Structure 1
C-alpha cells in the first residue's frame, strides 16, 4: 500500500509525462522532455525507454511507484520536480495565451433565397439543451446546391450567438482522394484560427485532439467543416463542449455520424425566379420571359447554375444538360462565351487539381505575361468558373469547384489532346521545381541538403530568407500536389528535387502532416530509381525528421536506418554522418541515452574520415561542435554530469568563437540544466543570464520563458537552502 505522498507522486508521473510529451513542438518542450527522462532514469536506477502509449505510461508509473515505496525521499523529490515541469510546459492542456482577434467566416452570399426549413433546423440544433453530446448538424446536398453557402449564411446571421468566433476549414473531399486532409492538419488549422501559436500545439495527432477540445471547452464557437467525405474524417474534430456548434458540409448524408441531417435540394421554380430577380431586376427578367423556362430547366434548381446564368439570361438554352448536372451545364455555357486565350487558361490549369492558382502559375502554363494571366483569372472568377481567395497579404489566388474542374479537364482532353494536356502539366511541374529549388536555396543557403541549382533552373530572387521561406509556406499545398503529379507523369527526378527542397519547410516551419505524403513518395521513388545513393539517403533522412517530430518513433527509426545505409553505400560521408546523427537525436527523444551517445560517436568518426573533396566539408567544424553538444545531452541523460559538461563546454567555445548565437544559447541552457540536476544553482545562474542576453531580439519567446523558469527555480532552491 502506497503512503499518501507516494500516491501523489505516482499521479504526478502520469500528469507530467503526458503534459511534457505534448509540449515538444518547441525547443523548450524538448528540454523539458529530456530533463524528465533523465530524472526518471535517476529514480529508476536504470535506463527507462520513453513511453509512447497509455499502457507504457502506466508501466513507467508502476516502476516509479515501486521505487517510491522503497524510498519516500524519492517520491518527495519527484513531486517537487513535477511541480516545476508542469508549471510552464507549452502544450499542456491549454495554450499559454490565445492570439488577439476573433476568427470569422468567409463572406456570406449577398442574395440568399429560400432554405427556411434548413435554417430552422440549424437554429434548433444550435439552441438544443446541452446534454453532453456534440451539437452537430450535417448539411448535405449535390454540388452547386449551396450547402456551403447555407452554413456560412446561417453563421453570419448568428454571429452574436458565438462571441468567441466562428471557424471554417475545408476538409478537401471536393479535390479528390489526394486532397483529403488528415485530422492533425485540420486541427492545427483550427487552432491557428483561434490564435494558438504552432509552438504550443502538441506534436502527436492523438494529443492534438485532446488539446483542441481543452482549448474550446469553455468557448462559444461555431465550427464549419466544409467538404467532408466520411464520419471517420470528421470524428476526431468533434467536441462535446456545451457552447460549440459544429456544422459538417458534405455531398452525401454519410452514415456513422450522430448528427441532425439537413438536406439541401434544388430550389423550386418560384424560388429560382426570386433569386434571378435579386441578381438582376424585374425589367430585365421580364425581357427574358421567353427563355426563362429553358433557363430554369437547364439550371435544375442549382443556385450556382442560376448565378452563372444570370448575366446571359437573354441567350437561349437548350433544355437540361446532357448528364443532368446543372453545375457542369453552367460551366459549359460560361465556357462558350470566353475569348480563346482565357478559355485555354481555363482548360490547361485544370489538368491537375492545384489547391491554389495564382497569376504567375497561369502565366507559366499559357506562355503569357503575369498581367495578362491575372486579367484572365479575374475574368474566369467573374463568370464563376473559378473561385477567388484573397490571401492575408492581399494577393488573389483561385481554385476550381470540383464539377467545374472536371468539365475543364474534359474539354482540355477534347480540344488540346493528351499531348497538349501533358505539355501543360510538364510546364506547371517545371515551374514548381524551379520555384521550390530557388526558394529553398535562399531560405537556407548554408544547407548542403537543399538540391543544387543548375543552369536549366530559373532563379527567383527574394529580399530575405524570411520572404523565401514565406514563399515555400504559401506554395506548400501546390508543392505536395506537384510531387503527386511528377510520380504519375513518370518524372521521378522532379519529384525527388521538390521533396529535397521541402527541407527548409520541415526545419523552420513544420507542416509535417501536410508534407508527409510527398516525402513518402520521394523516398519510394529514390529507392526505385537511385537505390543506395545520396538522393535516397537524403529523402529517408527528411522523412525520419518529420516522423520524429510527429512522435512516430518506430517509423522514424526505420527511415533513419535506411538513410544511414544509403548514404554509407553511396560513399557520401556528410550525409552518412547526418543520418547517424538523426538516429542519435531520435534516441534522445526515446530516452535511450547510451545508444544516442554511440550514434554521435559514430557520426563523429565519419566526419573525421571526410576528405577535402567531399561534399559538405566546409560544414564539418560546425557539425562536430553540434555533435559535442549532443554528446553532452546524452551523457547528462545517463547521469554522467561532469563528462557532459566537458563536451558542452567544447561546443560552447566553438559557437561563441563563430558568432553562432542560436546554438550558443542552446548550449548555455544545456550546461545550466546539468548544474541544476545536482542543485548547483550558483553555477547555473550566470549561464542562464548569459543565455537570456544572447537571445535578445531573436524572437525566441518560448526559449526565454523556459530560461526564466529555470532562473526562478534557482531562486526558489536558494531560498529553501537559507530557510
Structure 2
C-alpha cells in the first residue's frame, strides 16, 4: 500500500486510508471503480462499463451517464497517492500499484504460499483475512457480482482450504475445524472442504461428528448433483469407520486423467512471443483459475498454437487435459450449447451421463466440484461468445483454460480477468521458416523469390500456407516459381471479391488448390461439403459421392494429401470450418438443386437405416414402425451384434442428432421423426436426456407437419419420457396425456398401454405407489387384449414391485410369479433374475427367510451368468440380510465379504457402508453355521 491507501473489492468497494473509507459513496461509481481495479493499468472500454452497470438493457443515456460518473470519480481520486484515472483510446485506465488493491494482494499472497515447499500459514491467513464480505458487496447492477464474483469466491474457498490444510499439518486442529465448519455449512457439496473437516474432527477424537459430516455430504451429493462422493472422500470415510489414523491432511482429490488433446501440429514454427505469453499463465494459475483468450482472424492458426502449446505443458497438468470444439462459427450456425459442452467435459472427467443434473447451472456447479483442487488444462476451441464460455469455467485455483475465438471475448477479459492474446499473421520470416520445414530448406533456398511470392500470396496465413505446402510436397519436381505463378493468377481472378478479410487470402488458395484436383476428387470435395454433422465416416462419404466405398476412400486420400480435409482417427474425416464453407459454396454453385436434394436424401437414408438396424440389436423387443424406403444405391452400416450397435451409436450420436435437425430444415419430415425414433432407446440407456428431449421436440413438430397422427403419438410419448428423466414431471404429464389422446384417436391400444406403463414408472419414482398401480392395471388390460406378451410380462413385474412397496405381499407374489412364467418363455435371463430378486424380497418381508435365501441364490446365479457385477453385489447383500435374519451370522458374513470383493471395484461408498455393517456383525459361536454357501 502507498501511504496507507488501500483499494478494496473483497467486501464493500471503495478507497480506504488507514482504515477509514474515503470514497466513493455512489453505487454506480463503485461499479466503475471495481471494473477499473480488476485490471489496473489496462484500458476498460466504455462498452464494458455500460455492460457492467446495465447488462444487456442499457438506457439511451448510458454513455453520457458513464462519462459523468467517471468525471466525478476522477475528482474524488485526485489527491489520493498513487492513483491516476485517465482517458485512453476507447475507454479509461486507472493507474494504481497492484499491491494496493486487495484482490491482487490476495492473489499474490496465495501464489507465494503455494510456491513454497511447505504452505506458509501466515501468508495464507493474511490472504484470507483480506476478505470482509462477498466480493463487490455494494456495487450497482447485478452483472459484476454474477460474472466476476463466483470466480473470486472460488479463489477464497480454495485459499481457506489450503490454510486449513496447513493448520492440520501443523497440528492446529481446532482452528482448522472452526474455519472449515463454516465453509461446509455454506457449501455442503464442496468435497475438499468436507474431507478436511472430517480429517480434523477425526484427529480431534470427534469420530461420530466426522461420520455425520460424511452422511450429510453424501446425501446432498446424491440428491442435488446425482453423484457419489469422490474416491478420496470415501477413502477418508473408510479410515474414520475403521478408526485408522488419517493423514495429517488429505491430499487434493484425484480422478480420471483425461487426455483429449488432438495430435500436436507437425512443422509448427515461430510464435515465440505468443508461446511465452501463454507460458506466463502457468505461474498465475495457483492464484486463481487462469484464463487466456486467443483471438484472431479465420485461418490465423489459433487452434494450431494452443494445441501445440498444450502439448508442451501437458505434464504440468497431471489430472488431465480436456479439449472441446465449441463450433462457434460452424457454417450451419449450430454452435454447441454450453450444456452439451459441459456434458462432454464431465464425461472426460469420468462422470457418467446417468449422474448429470438436468439444469445448466447444476451441471456447471457439478463441473466446478469435480475440477476443484485438480490441475486440469482445458482448451475450448472455436468459441462464439462469452456466454458460451462462462458456464464452462472452473472455480478453484490450479487449472488453466485457453479459449480460441474469432471474437475478442471482452466479457471474459472484464468479468473473469482473462488474459487477452490477439493472434496476428506470422511474420514473413516465420512463414518462410514453415515452408522450409515442410518442403526442405534446400528447395526453399534454391528459389528464394518464389518462396517469398508464395508467402505473400497466402497472406502469411498458416492455413493457406499448409494447403500450398501440401501441393508442393505431392509435386516435388514442380518448381516453386510455377506454384507462385499459379497463385498470382488465382489471386488476380479473385481480386474483385477482395474485402480486406483474411478469409479472402485463404479463399484464393482454396480456389487454386481445388482447380488442381482431378474432376472426380473435385466432385468429392464439393459433395462432402453437404454433410450434416461435425465429422463423417467412410460409408456416409460414399453416399454423398454416389461412388463405391473403395473409390471414395481413394479420392478422399487425394484430398487429405492436398490438405483439404483431415483424418484425425482412421475412417473419420473432418473439415476445417473455412474449407467446409468453401466446399458448401462450390456445391451450391456447381451442383444443381435436384442433385443436391438427391445427395442429401441418400445421406439421410444412410443414417436412418443404419440407425434402424443398430436399434434392432439394442432393443430387440421393440414394436417396429414403417420406415421411409431406402434407395438401392445407398450404403448402409450393418452392425452384427449389440456391442457393435452400441459402438455405432456412440460414434454417430452427434451426427444423427444433426441429421434430425437437417432433415427437418430441408423438408424431410419423415426422416426427421424416424431418426429421432431410432436413436431414442440408446439415448435413454446412456442417460442422454437433454439430447432425447431435443430430438423428440423436433420429432413432434415434424410428425405434426406430416399429418401423421400415429407418429405424433410416439413422439409425444418419448418427449414425455425425456422430461420425466429430467425431473420435469409437469411437462411429462402434459405430453403423456397428449400421447394417450393421440393413440386413442388412431385406436392403438398397445400404444395406450405403453403410455400407462410409462406413467406408472414416473409415479413410482415419485413414491406414488397407489397411483402407479392404477395405471399398471389399465396397461395390463390393454396388453392382454392385444396378446402382447412382452408388455404383459413387464407390467406384471411392475405390479409385483408396486404391491410389495405397499406391503401387499400376497398380490405382489402372484404378479411376480405370473411375470416369471412369461419371462422364462421368452428366455430373458436378466429379466428373470430381476423377477426372482423381487420374489426373494417379498419372502424376506414376510419373514420367510429360507425361501428368500433360495430365491436370492437363484437370482444371483442368473446375474453372474449375465455378467452383471453390480447386480450380483446387491443380490449378495440382500442374500446376507436374509441369512442374518435366519440366524446364519457366519453365512451373512460370507455373502457380504463376497459382495465386498465386487464393490471395492464398483462403488467405494457402498463398500464403506458394508465395511461398517461387517464390523458391527456379532461373532458366530464356534462350530455354528459351517455349511458352505453357493459357489
TM-score bucket (shorter structure): 0.7 to 0.9
Residues 665 and 204 from structure 1, CA distance in 2 versus in 1: closer, same or farther, beyond 3 angstroms? Answer: farther
What is the CA-CA distance between 1:201 and the residue it aligns to?
5.0
Q: 1:143 aligns with which of 298, 304, 310?
A: 298
* Alignment deviations for residues 195-251 of structure 1 (CA, whole Å, 9 cap, x no partner): 445455556655444443333334322111222222232222221233222222222
Match of 1:121 in 2: 277
Question: Structure 1 regions of 5+ residues with no counterpart?
Answer: 1-53, 55-78, 611-616
Give the match's secondary structure for 1:607. Answer: helix
Cα offset, 1:695, TM superposition:
1.0
The reply to whether residue 586 of structure 1 matches residue 765 of structure 2 is no
Cα distance in 2 between the residues matched to 1:692 and 1:207: 37
Residue aligning to 1:94: 230
Would the aligned equivalents of 1:685 and 1:714 in 2 still touch at CA under 8 Å? yes
Superposed displacement of residue 696, structure 1? 1.1
Structure 1 residue 589: Cα displacement: 2.0
Partner of 1:625: 793
Moved more, 364-373 or 554-563: 554-563
SS in structure 1 of the partner of residue 529 of structure 2:
helix
How big is the shift at 1:592?
A: 2.6
Does the aligned pair in 2 maintain the 1:440–1:450 contact within 8 Å?
no
Shift in Å, 1:519:
2.2
Mean Cα displacement is larger for which, 686-695 or 225-234?
686-695
Q: Is the alpha carbon distance of 1:435 and 1:629 closer, same or farther for their aligned partners in structure 2, counting shifts above 3 Å?
A: same
- What does the per-residue CA deviation read over 1:278-298, in whole Å, with 9 as the maximum and x for residues that have no partner? 222233223443344443333
Q: Within 2, Cα distance between the matches of 1:412 and 1:289?
A: 37
The separation in 1 between residues aligned to 2:402 and 2:872, in whole angstroms, is: 40
SS at match of 1:140: strand
Give me the whole-angstrom Cα distance separating, in 2, the residues matched to 1:111 and 1:485. Answer: 37
What CA RMSD, in Å, does the superposition of the two structures yield over aligned residues? 3.4
How many Å apart are 1:709 and its aligned residue? Answer: 4.5
* Cα 1:517/1:509, change in 2 over 3 Å: same
Q: Give the Cα separation in 1 of the matches to 2:790 and 2:255.
A: 37
Query: 1:103, 1:194 within 8 Å by CA — same for their partners in 2?
Result: no
2:646 is equivalent to residue 489 of structure 1: no
In the TM superposition, residue 262 of structure 1 has moved relative to its aligned partner by 1.9
Distance 2:854 2:375 in 1: 46
Match in the other structure for 2:723 = 547
Does the Cα contact within 8 Å between 2:292 and 2:420 map onto a contact in 1?
yes
Q: Is the 8 A contact 1:451 1:500 kept in 2?
A: no
Contact 1:108 1:152 in 2 (8 A): yes
Match of 2:330 in 1: 175
1:351 aligns with 2:505: no
Distance 1:337 1:467, change over 3 A: same
* Alignment CA distance shift 1:671-1:110 (3 Å): same
TM-score, normalized by length of structure 2?
0.62
1:548-563 equivalence runs, <5 A:
548-563=724-739
- Gap change, CA 1:440 and 1:687, over 3 Å in 2: same
Distance of 2:854 and 2:221 partners within structure 1: 21
- Three-state SS of the structure 2 residue aligned to 1:169 is strand
Q: Secondary structure at the match of 2:282?
A: helix
Q: Distance in 2 between matches of 1:186 and 1:676?
A: 46
| Residue range with higher mean Cα deviation, 261-270 or 626-635 | 626-635
The 8 Å contact of residues 359 and 377 in structure 1, kept in 2 or not, is answered as no
Indicate the SS of the match to 1:174: coil
Q: Check whether the contact 1:534–1:575 (CA below 8 A) recurs between aligned residues.
A: no
How many angstroms does 1:156 deviate by? 0.9
Equivalences for residues 313-712 of structure 1 within 5 A: 313-314=480-481, 315=483, 316=485, 317-318=487-488, 319=491, 322-323=498-499, 324=501, 325=503, 326-390=505-569, 395-449=570-624, 451=626, 461-531=638-708, 533-610=709-786, 617=787, 620-673=788-841, 684-711=852-879
Distance 2:847 2:316 in 1: 53
Q: Is the 8 A contact 1:593 1:638 kept in 2?
A: yes
- The 8 Å contact of residues 218 and 229 in structure 2, kept in 1 or not, is answered as no
Aligned residues of 2:531 and 2:544 also touching (Cα < 8 A) = no
Give the 3 Å change call, closer, same or farther, for CA 151–291 of structure 1 in structure 2: same
Distance of 1:648 and 1:298 partners within structure 2: 77
Q: Among 275, 280, 285, which residue is 2:439 paired with?
A: 280
- Mapped partners of 2:431, 2:645: distance in 1: 48
Q: Write the deviation string for residues 122-175 of structure 1: whole angstroms up to 9, x where unpaired.
A: 2222221534x4222222222211111111111111122112221212222232
Relative contact order higher in (CA < 8 Å, ≥ 6 apart): 1
Match of 1:232 in 2: 387
Runs of 5+ unmatched residues, structure 2: 1-185, 187-211, 236-253, 473-479, 890-919, 924-935
Q: Report the TM-score, using the length of structure 1 for normalisation.
A: 0.79
- CA distance in structure 2 between the aligned counterparts of 1:676 and 1:264, rounded to whole angstroms: 70
SS in 1 for 2:379: strand
Contact 1:209–1:236 (CA<8 Å) still a contact in 2?
Answer: yes
- Cα–Cα, structure 1 residues 712 and 106, in superposed 2: closer, same or farther, change >3 Å? farther
Is the 2:221–2:229 Cα contact (8 Å) retained in structure 1? no
Could you say which residue in structure 1 is the equivalent of 2:423?
Answer: 264
Paired residue secondary structure (1:558):
helix
Change (3 A) 1:150 1:687: farther
Which whole-Å CA distance do the structure 2 matches of 1:683 and 1:487 have between them? 56
Partner of 1:167, secondary structure, is: strand
Q: Deviations over 1:77-117 (max 9, x none)?
A: xx999799969978223379999775242111122222223
Deviates more, 1:508-517 or 1:215-224: 508-517
The Cα shift of 1:701 comes to 3.2
* TM-aligned CA distance change 1:451 to 1:709, over 3 Å: farther
User: Which of 1 and 2 has greater Rg?
Assistant: 2
